[in-house]
Amino acid sequence: MIIRVFLLASILVGVAWLLRTRPGGSRLAITRLAGFVLAAGAAASVVAPGLVTDAAHLVGVREGPNLILYVLVVVFVFTTIVQGMRMRELERRLAQLARAQALAGAAAAADEQQRV
């Protein structure tokens, strides 16, 4: 079935792409573009539900809602990975900030001692 190849390949390619590129302008642009495509697809499926079924048949899925579920699973995996990476980056920055404050506090305490 085409859908299996499509799903597995999209997960693998997506994960590899996420891990091998630097977060930045072009990645953000592609992510946003994918978001728009998804939104357009969602709108199309509302306007013409038959389209989803046609698309499902095209890739070898029996029913339209199944295709939607599969696509959502892929989207969920991506979102989870992106959020996880963003969280790690934030934690790294938080650590740098806390560290800078701890060291500044120590310097202030040392100055205080010298003055006394």
| Residues making contact with another protein (CB under 8 A) | 19-23, 84-85, 88, 91-92, 94-95, 98-99, 101-103, 105-107, 109-110
Closer of 60 and 84 to another protein (Cβ): 84
SS3 labels along the chain: CHHHHHHHHHHHHHHHHHHHCCCCHHHHHHHHHHHHHHHHHHHHHHHCHHHHHHHHHHHCCCCHHHHHHHHHHHHHHHHHHHHHHHHHHHHHHHHHHHHHHHHHHHHHHHHHHHHC
Residue 94: CB minimum distance to another protein, A: 7
Closer of 24 and 36 to another protein (Cβ): 24
